[in-house]
Amino acid sequence: MKNIKQKISLLSLFLTFSLCVCAQSVEKIEKKCKGLEYDKRIRIAVGSFKATTNSAYGKFAGELSTMLSNALVMTECFQVLASTKSNVMADIKEEKAFQQSADADPDATVASGKMLGAQLLITGEITEFKEGKEGFTAVGIGVTKNTAKVGFILQIVSPQTRQILFSESINADAISLGGFNGLRFFGLPAIGSFKTKAMADAVEKAIIKSVELIVVQKDAIPALPASDANDTKTATVKIEKVDYAMLGSITKTLKENPKVKDALKELNETTGTIKVSHTGTLEELADYLLEKKPEFKIVTVEKGQIVLKPK
């Protein structure tokens, strides 16, 4: 009996030590760009990861994208956009559909055509996802530990050119003793159906490695798509109840704007149309017209079009 008690005490001490080693907190995501102005951050979106290994359960690829997006937000280095295939986008589309319905107040809805495009797309393929058990003997008593390995190819792609700007193999493994329940990833409850804490830890390590690489690469990538503020865009200025002389005056005023590259007018009976090539935003163009042509009022500013009519 005494020997059994001693073994149990020794085993308890061993397990406590082992659990402390296995459960020591993984390095958390740092605010690597703390203080960086939001409008100066690169716009990125985490796309869908593809599982090329049959061992990864069905939802893991999507969950990996969600966890990586959340971790990238924490760095404060990026404007992280919702993936076009995420639940967030589905919710946005549903909300916009409601706002366009007869039940919504038209003066309290969001404007269409304002979603931002990603300058960089983060994607990849899951190549390894393994969970297992290993047995060993401690002070004469058999003990089982959980093991896990996860691996994926991480890629940074330019949506503008389709070029793969960066590609790296990410691999992580972990071990744990005992079960797994209620773990949280970067402030969110752990999602999915990881069988062990070992797999949860391995995934967390892999995400941290990925984030560190992405943060480093954001400055190393030579040519990002230009900011929207500097891109040349095309807008339509529609003027109701005008004659040719009034249309010519508005066209001349637009051409005097340093952000306007060109303006081409067309008159159809009493409705004038001006095709404008410009930089900056549509709202800035509308504000310019409001200042320079106070005899007109702006009816709408949306979807690349400004509608004016005389006061």
| Domains along the chain with CATH numbers | 10-220 (3.40.50), 228-310 (3.30.70.100)
* Structure confidence at residue 280 (pLDDT): 85
Residue closest to 156 by CA, chosen among 126, 125, 122: 122
Percent pLDDT > 70 in the chain is 77
* Structure confidence at residue 144 (pLDDT): 74
Q: At residue 230, does pLDDT exceed 90?
A: no
* Structure confidence at residue 175 (pLDDT): 87
Q: Tell me how far CA of residue 39 lies from CA of 31, 75, 199, in angstroms.
A: 17, 15, 36
Average pLDDT over residues 36-57: 82
Torsion over CA of 156, 70, 230 and 294, rounded to 10 degrees?
160
The answer to which of 24-33, 169-178, 269-278 has the lowest mean pLDDT is 24-33
* Structure confidence at residue 279 (pLDDT): 86
pTM: 0.61
Average pLDDT over residues 205-221: 88
Q: At residue 242, does pLDDT exceed 60?
A: yes
Average pLDDT over residues 74-82: 91
The answer to which of 24-28, 75-79, 230-234 has the lowest mean pLDDT is 24-28
The predicted-structure confidence for 131-187, as pLDDT tens digits, reads as follows: 887 665 555 555 678 888 999 999 999 888 888 999 999 999 988 765 444 444 444
The predicted-structure confidence for 281-300, as pLDDT tens digits, reads as follows: 899 999 999 999 999 999 99
Q: At residue 15, does pLDDT exceed 70?
A: no
Task: For residue 160, give the DSSP letter.
Answer: T
* Structure confidence at residue 254 (pLDDT): 94
Q: At residue 17, does pLDDT exceed 50?
A: no
pLDDT top residue among 81 and 48 = 81
Rounded Cα distance, 159 and 37, in Å: 23
* Structure confidence at residue 301 (pLDDT): 92
Average pLDDT over residues 236-260: 92
pLDDT top residue among 61 and 209 = 209
What is the chain's mean pLDDT, rounded? 79
The position carrying tokens 């990002």 is 224
* Structure confidence at residue 268 (pLDDT): 92
Q: How confident is the model at residue 33 (pLDDT cuts 50, 70, 90)?
A: confident
136-172 burial by CB neighbour count: b if 16+ within 10 A, else e? eeeeeeeeebbbbbbbbbbbbbbeeeeeebbeeebeb
* Structure confidence at residue 186 (pLDDT): 47
The position carrying tokens 């959980």 is 146
User: How far does Cα 302 stand from its chain's mean position?
Assistant: 25
Q: Tell me how far CA of residue 287 lies from CA of 46, 60, 246, 280, in angstroms.
A: 35, 48, 19, 12
Q: At residue 121, does pLDDT exceed 50?
A: yes
Cβ neighbours of 180 (radius 10 Å): 16
pLDDT top residue among 246 and 186 = 246
Residue closest to 47 by CA, chosen among 145, 152, 203: 152
* Structure confidence at residue 199 (pLDDT): 85
Here the tokens at position 215 are: 């943060």
